[in-house]
């Protein structure tokens, strides 16, 4: 079979299964109000939870950074790509999260791969929530460690696997528990205090990917660790991203000095890639400042979440149980999820139809995400249109 024949057959099958993915072309800045193919729409699918991606102060900080440092960083962090802006951002992230030290990565995917593969080898064990993000799953598999997925948010399932490892291994082995903080397709929050307890009981390490919690959760926006008041000792490996609530790009790991120094030495996705543009670091420094100074954004976001859920309930829309900006509505059938999403887009609302393999088979859904910049009127209009689309 030729390569082209193989590729075409896969694409045809993808279309027949209603799983074919297509990109929308954005003609405007990111935000609640966007232009797609020359049409004005209201977006309910962005991860820009606080409305910072197009904030004038963030844009200005980016411009200043580009004026001073230029555009590209020109090298990896360990050659000559680590600017003063990178260093200052790392220090500010560490202070904000209450950790000793931070290290920047070019994306959340690279951060997860970097830390897990740096810490584990074939003699170790990694335990992951069944609904973890793809980057965490890939990180566990690529580490070479013995890999086990436990039932979603089920600490008893996790404990059972940990006990089995303990009983079957007479010599000491490293064990890493990895979970999303906020699950990206369900919107629910991991039971971190219980995971801390289980990790301590079983002499295991704990890591969370707080991509969707950082900036959105906690009194000051420091994410799940602040939400549950977890110390560095309780939660030793914390990953966060900068391209969601902070509205810029990149990711970071925070933890002890020994952890971060180990990643500098051993994380291949940090060592062997070009550093983030310094201007992005400067823009992120401003975003981080706004997260701390403009608490009204987080308050408005959570007001919108409460309003959305209450209004959906009055319309008998059966949302998944989520108190975060991610508000999924399970449709089930792939084709129907696409049709409902298209109906919404024709009416001027952008909501993503999420299908397998991103979510389990039979659970295709609309992944509605809320922002601090949505108005209650926009929420009501979306829900009314959605109700009509589901009846069609």
The string of pLDDT tens digits covering residues 295-331 is 999 999 999 999 999 999 999 999 999 999 999 999 9
CB-count exposure of residue 87 (10 Å: 0-12, 13-18, 19+): middle
Q: Which of 238, 279, 228 is nearest to 94 (CA)?
A: 238
Q: Which residues contact 324 (CB under 8 A, 6 or more apart)?
A: 182, 187, 188, 189, 212, 213, 216, 217, 305
Count of helices and strands (H, E) across the chain: 14, 13
Return the percentage of the chain with pLDDT > 90, whole number.
96
Active site annotation includes 219: no
| Sign of the alpha-carbon torsion through 156, 161, 166, 167 | positive
Q: Which residues contact 222 (CB under 8 A, 6 or more apart)?
A: 96, 97, 98, 214
Is the CB of residue 127 less than 8 Å from the CB of residue 177?
A: yes
Helix %, strand %, coil % of the chain (to 5) = 45, 15, 40
The reported pLDDT for the residue numbered 113 is 98
The structure tokens listed for 166 are 């303990």
Q: What is the pLDDT of residues 327-379, one digit of tens each?
A: 999 999 999 999 999 999 999 999 999 999 999 999 999 999 999 999 999 99
| Sign of the alpha-carbon torsion through 197, 226, 181, 259 | negative
Helix (H) / strand (E) element for 109: namely: helix 108-119
Mean pLDDT, the chain, whole residue set: 96
Report residue 164: phi and psi, to 5°.
-65, -45
- Mean pLDDT for the stretch of residues 29-38: 94
Q: Which of 310, 391, 383 is nearest to 351 (CA)?
A: 383
- Own/partner pairs, 14-19, CB within 8 angstroms, 24+ separation: 17/334, 18/334, 18/335, 18/338, 18/355, 19/334, 19/355, 19/356
The reported pLDDT for the residue numbered 167 is 83
Cβ atoms within 10 Å, residue 375: 13
The reported pLDDT for the residue numbered 175 is 96
Active site annotation includes 107: no
Q: Which of 116, 118, 87, 79 is nearest to 104 (CA)?
A: 87
DSSP state at residue 212? T
223: left (phi over 0), alpha (psi -120 to 50) or beta: left
CB-count exposure of residue 74 (10 Å: 0-12, 13-18, 19+): middle
Catalytic residue among 175, 244, 287, 322: 244
The structure tokens listed for 272 are 């062997």
Return the ∠ at Cα 243 (arms to 242 and 248), rounded to 5°.
85
Return the higher-pLDDT residue of 8 and 167.
Answer: 8
Residue 166: pLDDT band with limits 50, 70, 90 = confident
* Residue located via tokens 């072309």: 25
* Residue located via tokens 């970097």: 114
Catalytic residue among 82, 133, 212, 374: 212
C-alpha distances out from residue 370 to 25, 287, 385, Å = 21, 19, 16
On the CB side of 332, CA atoms within 13 Å amount to: 2
Return the percentage of the chain with pLDDT > 70, whole number.
100
C-alpha distances out from residue 230 to 234, 359, 381, Å = 6, 29, 39
C-alpha distances out from residue 33 to 28, 29, 125, Å = 9, 9, 45
Residue 88 pLDDT more than 90? yes
- Mean pLDDT for the stretch of residues 5-32: 94
Q: What is the pLDDT of residues 249-296, one digit of tens each?
A: 999 999 999 999 999 999 999 999 999 999 999 999 999 999 999 999
Active site annotation includes 212: yes
Residue 329: strand pairing partners: 366
The reported pLDDT for the residue numbered 170 is 63
């Amino acid at each position: 079979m030729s390569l082209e024949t193989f590729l075409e057959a896969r694409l045809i099958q993808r279309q027949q299964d209603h799983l074919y993915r297509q990109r929308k072309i954005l003609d405007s800045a990111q935000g609640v109000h966007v232009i797609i193919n020359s049409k004005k729409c209201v977006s309910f699918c962005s991860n820009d939870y606080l409305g910072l991606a197009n904030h004038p102060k963030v844009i200005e900080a980016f411009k200043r950074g580009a004026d001073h440092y230029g555009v590209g960083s020109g090298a990896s962090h360990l050659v000559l790509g680590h600017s003063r802006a990178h260093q200052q951002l790392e220090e500010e992230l560490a202070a904000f999260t209450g950790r000793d030290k931070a290290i920047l990565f070019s994306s959340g995917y690279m951060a997860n791969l970097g830390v897990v593969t740096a810490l584990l080898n074939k003699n170790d064990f990694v335990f992951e929530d069944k609904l973890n993000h793809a980057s965490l799953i890939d990180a566990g598999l690529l580490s070479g460690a013995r890999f086990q997925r436990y039932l979603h948010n089920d600490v008893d399932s996790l404990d059972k696997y940990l006990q089995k490892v303990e009983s079957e291994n007479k010599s000491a082995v490293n064990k890493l528990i990895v979970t999303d903080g906020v699950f990206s397709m369900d919107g629910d929050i991991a039971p971190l205090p219980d995971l801390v307890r289980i990790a301590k009981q079983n002499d295991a390490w704990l890591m969370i990917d707080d991509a969707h919690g950082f900036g959105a959760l906690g009194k000051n926006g420091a994410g799940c660790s602040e939400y549950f008041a977890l110390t560095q000792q309780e939660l030793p490996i914390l990953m966060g991203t900068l391209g969601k609530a902070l509205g810029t790009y990149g990711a970071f790991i925070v933890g002890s000095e020994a952890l971060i120094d180990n990643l500098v030495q051993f994380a291949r996705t940090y060592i062997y890639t070009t550093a983030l543009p310094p201007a992005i670091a400067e823009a992120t420094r401003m975003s981080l400042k706004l997260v701390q100074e403009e608490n009204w954004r987080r308050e408005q976001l959570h007001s919108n979440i409460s309003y959305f859920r209450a209004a959906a309930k009055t319309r008998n829309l059966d949302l998944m149980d989520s108190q975060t900006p991610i508000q999924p509505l399970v449709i089930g059938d792939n084709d129907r999820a696409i049709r409902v999403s298209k109906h919404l887009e024709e009416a001027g609302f952008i909501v993503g139809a999420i299908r397998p393999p991103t979510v389990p088979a039979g659970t295709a859904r609309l992944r509605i995400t809320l922002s601090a910049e949505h108005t209650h009127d926009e929420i009501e209009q979306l829900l009314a249109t959605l109700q009509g689309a589901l009846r069609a």
